[in-house]
């Protein structure tokens, strides 16, 4: 089987594609390739994993009238033409989209060329691209049941849950803690998303700075890419904290071995993207969730509240996310073993781990 994946920009779009690809490759002989942009995170992650990556030129539309939006209009027919060329060259049996604006021209071209198509939507409130593609693709797979309310014009809607990478599902917390050389102290992991989050990072750095010499915790922070790492280091310096000589604090631009790190964590503090929550719940990890308020229809808060309702997470809105609020929440949870155990069970119950299997069954149906 030959499968072409389209999706990118952030890890939230890339990781589900990788999860689906890895599962299908484990079931049968499969050749896969990806379509993305040179600006997206896929330009680094996909080649790093040894997969073929085709690049097209397309940008998402911003919510304000500006020159870039005007330029984007002229990119659309070019990206569609490039997508047709890629499809003719790769000759896929099916094209699968996992979100982001790059999906639009690729899946639209595939549908018009008569090739089976499937798009997966992770969020409870679907993105513009998914809503646009819904009546054109063969199947819309959804990660959250409320998304079906926005898909009345779709040919077929299938609830699968969100795909989780096999490395996450197979992770062992005892082995992970051993590999990271952790001790009995709580291990707290922070990340504001693959591209980072300025305000989130600032609050986290200020709290870490306040406890840097306490030796109460082991800490790992993923700052996100595109200048976030430098800004974080500068903030530590402004706070008079030298993290380079502190073995208890590990700051990275991007956490590449997230399966190991997340598996080892006692508590995760992060945004509430659908892909992240799928991995947290698959692992049964207690979390403090800080939903981004800068996303369409506030969908991250909807995602976060669903896990909070089950008891697997606590939510702090960005407007309330201060070093003091963060410190109070961590102090309350990190040393309460009974509470953490309850949250682990609740998080596990809130998740689903069969999405890749269900998507594979649909792929086989569409290509048979």
For residue 77, the domain's CATH number is: 3.40.50.2000
Res 40: pLDDT: 83
Domain total in the chain: 2
Instruction: State the residue range of the domain holding 54.
Output: 2-164+353-367
Q: Convert the pLDDT of each residue in 168-187 to its tens digit.
A: 988 899 999 999 999 999 99
My answer on whether 214 and 86 are in the same domain is no
Q: Report pLDDT for 2.
A: 98
> Do 250 and 172 have their domain in common?
yes
- The pLDDT of residue 68: 53
Identify whether residues 240 and 333 lie together within a single domain.
Answer: yes
Within this chain, do residues 360 and 336 fall inside the same structural domain, yes or no?
A: no
Residues 239 and 304 in one domain: yes
Question: According to the model, what pLDDT value does residue 21 have?
Answer: 95
Exposure class string for 219-245: b at 16+ Cβ within 10 A, else e: bbbbbbbeebbebbeebbeeeebebee
Question: Are 32 and 40 a contacting pair, CB within 8 Å?
Answer: no
Residues 185 and 248 in one domain: yes
SS (H, E, C) 239-295: CCCCHHHCCCEEEECCCCCHHHHHHHCCEEEECCCHHHHHHHHHHCCCEEECCCCCC
134 and 177 housed in the same domain: no
Within this chain, do residues 247 and 294 fall inside the same structural domain, yes or no?
yes
Question: Do both 274 and 194 map to the same domain?
Answer: yes
Residue 188, token pair as written in the block = 């707290």
User: Do residues 17 and 152 both lie within one domain?
Assistant: yes
**Residue 360 contacts residue 24 (beta carbons within 8 Å):** yes
Structure tokens given for 41: 């995170």
Which ranges of the chain have pLDDT less than 50? Answer: 61, 69-70
Q: Are residues 336 and 198 in the same domain?
A: yes
Q: Quick one: 151 and 190 in the same domain?
A: no
* Percentage with pLDDT > 70 across the chain: 95
């Amino acid at each position: 089987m030959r499968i072409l994946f389209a999706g990118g920009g952030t890890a939230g779009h890339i990781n589900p594609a990788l999860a689906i690809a890895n599962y299908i490759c484990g079931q049968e002989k499969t050749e896969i390739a990806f379509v993305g942009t040179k600006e997206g995170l896929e330009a680094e992650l996909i080649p790093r994993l040894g997969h073929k990556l085709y690049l097209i030129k397309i940008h998402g539309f911003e919510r304000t009238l500006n020159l870039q939006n005007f330029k984007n209009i002229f990119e659309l027919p070019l990206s569609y033409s490039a997508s047709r060329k890629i499809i003719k060259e790769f000759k896929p049996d099916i094209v699968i989209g996992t979100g982001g604006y790059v999906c639009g021209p690729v899946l639209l071209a595939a549908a018009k060329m008569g090739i089976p198509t499937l798009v997966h939507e992770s969020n409870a409130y679907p993105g513009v691209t998914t809503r646009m593609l819904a009546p054109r693709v063969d199947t819309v797979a959804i990660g959250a049941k409320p998304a079906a309310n926005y898909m009345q014009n779709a040919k077929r809607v299938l609830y699968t849950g969100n795909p989780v990478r096999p490395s996450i599902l197979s992770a062992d917390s005892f082995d992970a803690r051993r590999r990271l050389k952790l001790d009995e102290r709580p291990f707290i992991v922070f990340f504001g998303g693959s591209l980072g989050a300025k305000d989130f990072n600032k609050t986290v750095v200020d709290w870490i700075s306040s406890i840097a010499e306490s030796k109460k915790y082991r800490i790992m922070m993923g700052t996100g890419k595109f200048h976030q790492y430098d800004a974080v280091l500068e903030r530590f310096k402004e706070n008079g904290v030298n993290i380079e000589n502190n073995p208890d604090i590990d700051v990275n631009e991007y956490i590449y071995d997230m399966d190991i790190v997340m598996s080892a964590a006692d508590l995760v503090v992060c945004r509430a993207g659908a892909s992240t929550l799928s991995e947290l719940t698959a692992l049964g990890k207690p979390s403090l969730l800080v939903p981004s308020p800068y996303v369409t229809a506030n969908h991250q808060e909807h995602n976060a509240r669903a896990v909070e309702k089950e008891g697997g997470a606590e939510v702090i809105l960005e407007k309330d996310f201060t070093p003091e609020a963060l410190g109070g929440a961590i102090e309350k949870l990190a040393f309460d073993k009974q509470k953490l155990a309850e949250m682990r069970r609740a998080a596990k119950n809130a998740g689903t781990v069969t999405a890749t299997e269900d998507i594979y069954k649909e792929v086989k149906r569409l290509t048979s």
